[in-house]
Amino acid sequence: MCWHFDHCSGRTVRWINLLNALYYCHGTFILVAFALVKKPIQYCDIGTRKLKRKSEVTKNEMMRAMIETCIRNALKFRFVLMDSWFSSEENFDFITGKGRHFITALKDNRLIALSQ
């Protein structure tokens, strides 16, 4: 359990840090991987002298590890559908480097090139 800012309600809520991967085929969803985000490490920022939290592993690293596991387990898939939270150049390069395609929404502050 951890505190997260819920943009829909506009307030901080207590929630479970769970990341999962679902496989969809012919109208059926199958859970193929999941990860619980560990409790963050607390540290004191020297500049501001405020208590801060930082996870040992980012959600993006966890997502890439889950895709890698699915590939190692010979799961046959061509596309990765992901939340806009994961829409980054590093993730796009990782997915295309594995011979897969991605589908995601882009946040309005992202810059894209429509041609070379």
pLDDT digits (tens, 9 = 90+) for 38-49: 666 777 778 888
Q: Can you give the pTM of this predicted structure? A: 0.75
In a domain, 60, yes or no: yes
For residue range 6-31, list pLDDT tens digits in order: 777 888 887 777 889 999 989 999 99
Instruction: Determine the pLDDT at residue 35.
Output: 85
**Residue 110 forms part of a structural domain:** no
Evaluate whether residue 37 is within a structural domain.
yes
For 110, counting Cβ atoms within 10 Å of its Cβ (0-12 exposed, 13-18 middle, 19+ buried), the class is exposed
Written as one letter, the residue type at 4 is: H
Give 81's strand partners: 103
Dist. CA 81–CA 104, nearest whole Å: 6
The verdict on residue 7 lying in a domain is yes
54 found inside a domain: yes
Tell me whether residue 86 is in a domain. no
Short-list 26, 52, 54, CA closest to 40:
54
Least confident interval from 53-57, 86-90, 106-110: 53-57
- In a domain, residue 9? The reply is yes
Tokens of 38: 């560990």
For all residues of the chain together, what is the average pLDDT?
A: 85
Total number of domains constituting the chain = 1
Taking residues 67-77, what's their average pLDDT? Answer: 94
Domain that holds residue 52: 2-75
Is 101 a domain residue?
A: no
